[in-house]
Chains A and B, each alone.
Chain A
Amino acid sequence: MLANRLLQFLLLYFLAIGGLLAMKYLLGLSDYVIPGVAAMATAFTEMAAIYLGDLLDSLRVALLGHALSLLLAAGVGILASRSTALGSLIRAAAYTVQTYPIVAVAPIIFILLGDGLASRLLITILVCYFPLLLTTISVLTEPVADIEHFFISTGRNRWSLQVAIRLYENMGKLITVVAGSATLAMVGTIVAEFVAADAGIGFSIRKALYQSDLAHILVALFLVGIWTSIYLGVLETAGALIEKKWRNPAGGG
């Protein structure tokens, strides 16, 4: 799975680079519009190590933000699923906040939390938390009629049992959303660094954009893509293992 993800990314990345280069040479464009192979190679050798450091800085925030988002989404989702009124209110809040552009919310966040790690983290959580929350609420409020009917009819239905049944029956869906939200965590971190930070890969991309340096941007995108593919691959592999173990706890067939 991991190797597949990496190969798929490399294929797509180099196809895109090939497309850009084809456009450059067909239209006779300067290195300012689209850098040539030599300029790209120079940018890679000059910037890869620097950007790798920036990427690691971003990863720290993305991983932490993703983990916190998962915990929050699970906690709030379970709470919301207990009460229809609370669930409805949380869903309404989730939809509303999701429509707000982060650049508009960012000044409020910076006033409240300052310019450090906390602001970057909160923006990351804001971007990747809501899809997770909505999925959790959706899973936990959707009855698994066939199984729950048995426990209801035998008078053994409890809330905790109901949560367990619904999580178990929707494990595949949850794993897909958790893995997918990993990319959102990375997007959130980069957005946060883009709007206000002095560190991280998003900040480096912003600097390169100011200088119209597409070669540097391509190096940064390469590293972000590699990391995202690795992280996705690891999550998917872990998800597949967990699902397998969950469905077959004895390990037998």
Chain B
Amino acid sequence: MATFWHSSVALLVALLGPFSLFSPSFATAADEQIAYRLKWLINASTAGDVVAEAEGLFAAEGLQVAILPGGPERDAIREVELGRAHFGVASADQVIRGLAKGAPIVVVAQLFQVNPLNWIYRPEQTTISSGDDLRGKVIGVTYGGNDETILRTLLQRHHIGEEEVQLFSVRHDYTPFYQKKVDLWPLYRNAQGVIIGEKLRAAGEAFAFFNPDQAGVRFVANSVITSAKLLAEKPELVQRFTTALRRGWQLAMAPEHAERTAELIHRFDRETPLPLIREQLALTRELVAHPSPADIGRIDLVAWQETEAIMLEQKQIDRPVDIATALHPLAE
């Protein structure tokens, strides 16, 4: 059945190639056709994926990759297990939850070395110098999202009862934050953080970010997954994909390539002005190439284990998954 799906994907890639986000200009007929499902839409957080395709790095490894944008209803783990995608991007909590339910997936690269999830706040209205300062605040939270897990862990570690804070259910628009009804609002520092920051700056308002990582909660963000079966049956294919992807990220994060990367992203992310994409890229570099460009794609075992421990602690999973067994860093 998986073969059927893979054949279907190949057919889909061939048929939709000219109409997909990327028309691979470097691909040859002999290239292997790969479907790669992102977690979200194309933006600065997908810089390396875009660059790997546009600069022919996948093609250099003999791969014709269809990059499929993600979204709230897209789940890369499901698509990989169903054989509709060969690779995908999923957050660590999705991966661990999937493993706890028996999803046969493996992690082959970790995109963010530092979780981009932060809470934005106005320093004039709110003072946050440590997790203890969360007490008494109105805090935005995506119920069911990984920010809820992180926030609850922070509250627990700082001995703050739920009755001592007011949690506010966040949604797609930031109106309650703009209206100052909420003190802290969760966002991705390198993506929405730049856009919202720009709006606040234009309104003459100061803003700052609260980073849970600095408050002692390490929670892994986006990583690249594939199926355990594909890794077992075609390790060289997984190796080639991972190598091309890592090179794509290295190139995308190189300061001398920044302008070209920003232009490539802007082709797909038309709503975000180029200057803001440049700013987003600079911040993405701090989160991905951390502590140095050599760490791009590195799987941080300790951080993964801490993420698993947090999920157990918060009862997000009902049993340990021994995350180390699902991590497969591939040496270039």
Of the residues B81, B97, B169, B175, contact of A33 by C-beta under 8 Å: B81
A198 to B179, CA, bound (A): 18
Nearest-Cβ distance from residue A211 to partner chain B, whole angstroms: 5
A:1-51 near B, CB below 8 Å = 26-27, 29-33, 35, 39
Shortest Cβ gap from A24 to chain B (Å): 11
Contacts A110-B173, A115-B176, A196-B169 given: A27-B1 contact, CB under 8 Å? yes
Q: How far is the CA of A128 from the CA of B176 in the complex (A)?
A: 27
A86: chain B residues at CB < 8 Å are: none
Q: Which stretch of A59-67, A176-184, A202-210 is in the interface? A: A202-210
Assess whether B75 is interfacial by the CB under 8 Å rule.
yes
Tally B residues with Cβ within 8 Å of A. 28
* Chain A residues near B97 (CB-CB < 8 A): 32, 211-212
Contact A206 B103 (CB under 8 A): no
Q: A106–B169 contact, CB under 8 A?
A: no
Does A163 lie at the interface of the complex (its beta carbon under 8 Å from any beta carbon of B)?
no
Residues of chain A within 8 A (CB-CB) of B188 are none
Return chain B residues, CB-CB under 8 Å to A210.
142-145
Compute the total of residue contacts between A and B using a CB distance below 8 Å. 71
Contact residues in A for B168 (Cβ distance below 8 Å): 198
Contacting residue for A212 out of B98, B143, B179, CB 8 A:
B98
Partner of A32, one of B81, B171, B175: B81
| Size class of the contact patch on chain A | 20 to 34
Binary contact readout A95-123 vs B (1 if CB under 8 angstroms, 0 otherwise):
00000000100110011000100000000
Partner of B78, one of A32, A115, A198, A208: A32
**Which residue of chain B has the shortest Cβ distance to A194 in the bound complex?**
B171
Tell me how far the C-beta of A213 lies from the nearest C-beta in chain B, rounded to whole angstroms. Answer: 8
Q: How far is the CB of A205 from chain B (nearest CB, A)?
A: 10
A39 to B78, CA, bound (A): 17
Say whether, besides A32-B81, A107-B175, A209-B72, A203 and B98 are in contact (CB < 8 Å): no
Per the bound structure, the CA–CA distance linking A203 and B103 in Å amounts to 26
Closest B-chain residue to A35, C-beta based?
B101
- CB 8 Å contact bits of B197-221 with A (1 = contact, 0 = none): 0000000000000000000000000
- Asked if B82 and A206 make an inter-chain contact with CB atoms under 8 angstroms apart, the answer reads no
A196–B224 CA distance with the chains assembled, in angstroms: 31
Q: Which residues of B contact A110 (CB under 8 A)?
A: 173, 175-176
Q: In the assembly, what is the distance between CA of A32 and CA of B1, in Å?
A: 18
A203-B170 Cα distance, complex, nearest whole Å: 11
- Give which listed residue, B98, B173, B179, contacts A30 with CB less than 8 A: B98
Check if B172 sits within 8 Å of A212, measured CB to CB.
Answer: no
Instruction: Check A32 against B82 for contact (C-beta < 8 Å).
Output: no
Per-residue CB proximity of B140-165 to A under 8 Å, as 1/0?
A: 00111100000000000000000000
Judged by a CB distance under 8 angstroms, whether A195 is at the interface is yes
Known: A27-B82, A196-B169. 5 other contacts (CB 8 A): A32-B77, A195-B171, A208-B144, A209-B72, A212-B77
> Can you give 22 A-B contacts (C-beta < 8 A)?
A26-B1, A30-B98, A32-B78, A32-B81, A32-B98, A32-B102, A33-B78, A33-B103, A39-B101, A103-B172, A106-B173, A107-B173, A110-B176, A195-B171, A195-B172, A196-B171, A198-B143, A203-B143, A211-B97, A211-B144, A212-B75, A212-B97
